[in-house]
């Protein structure tokens, strides 16, 4: 059985490599390379896999899952600049792919500690673009 919790946050970023000049960055990353930053309204889906607990009827307590996501992900990202302010994204290119991997790494242990097994982190950056990460 898989169960999914949806959360939202908004954050600013810039896609760029410091070892490339602005022109090359703009060529590869387009508008997401604007030197003055820009933001997205991200939508995050966290899916946990497990069997249904006979006592609670839950795969994982969604209130607890929501608290874990809030503490380890949302508080660190919401209304923040991903490039400058988010500890688990330091030194990484702030792409949706890398952000999903970072979110997975933030959540894996706490979800395990709560008795669940993280199955998927799905991150929607825009209406047309999203990624899904399954831990590899």
32 interacts with Ni ion by CB under 5 A: yes
| Rounded least distance, CB 40 to Ni ion, Å | 6
CA 136, CA 129: separation in Å to the nearest integer? Answer: 20
Residue 72 designated active-site: no
Q: Are 121 and 100 in contact (CB under 8 A)?
A: yes
Find, among 57, 67, 42, the residue nearest to 122 by Cα: 42
Q: Output Rg (C-alpha) for the chain, integer angstroms.
A: 16
Nearer to Ni ion, 32 or 68 (CB): 32
59 interacts with Ni ion by CB under 5 A: no
3-class DSSP assignment, residue 23? helix
Residue 120 designated active-site: no
Nearer to Ni ion, 9 or 58 (CB): 9
Nearer to Ni ion, 3 or 12 (CB): 12
Residue numbers at the binding site for Ni ion (CB under 5 A): 32
């Amino acid at each position: 059985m898989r169960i999914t919790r949806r959360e939202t946050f908004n954050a600013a970023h810039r896609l760029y490599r410091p070892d490339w000049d602005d022109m090359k960055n703009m060529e590869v990353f387009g508008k997401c390379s604007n030197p003055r930053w820009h933001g997205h309204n991200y939508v995050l889906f966290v899916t946990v896999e497990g069997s249904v607990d006979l006592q609670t009827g839950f795969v994982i307590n969604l209130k607890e899952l929501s608290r874990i996501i809030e503490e380890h992900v949302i508080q660190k990202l919401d209304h923040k600049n991903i490039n400058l302010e988010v500890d688990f994204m330091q030194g990484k290119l702030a792409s949706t792919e890398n952000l999903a991997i970072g979110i997975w790494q933030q959540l894996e242990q706490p979800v395990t500690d709560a008795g669940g097994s993280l199955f998927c982190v799905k991150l929607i950056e825009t209406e047309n673009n999203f990624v899904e990460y399954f831990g590899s």
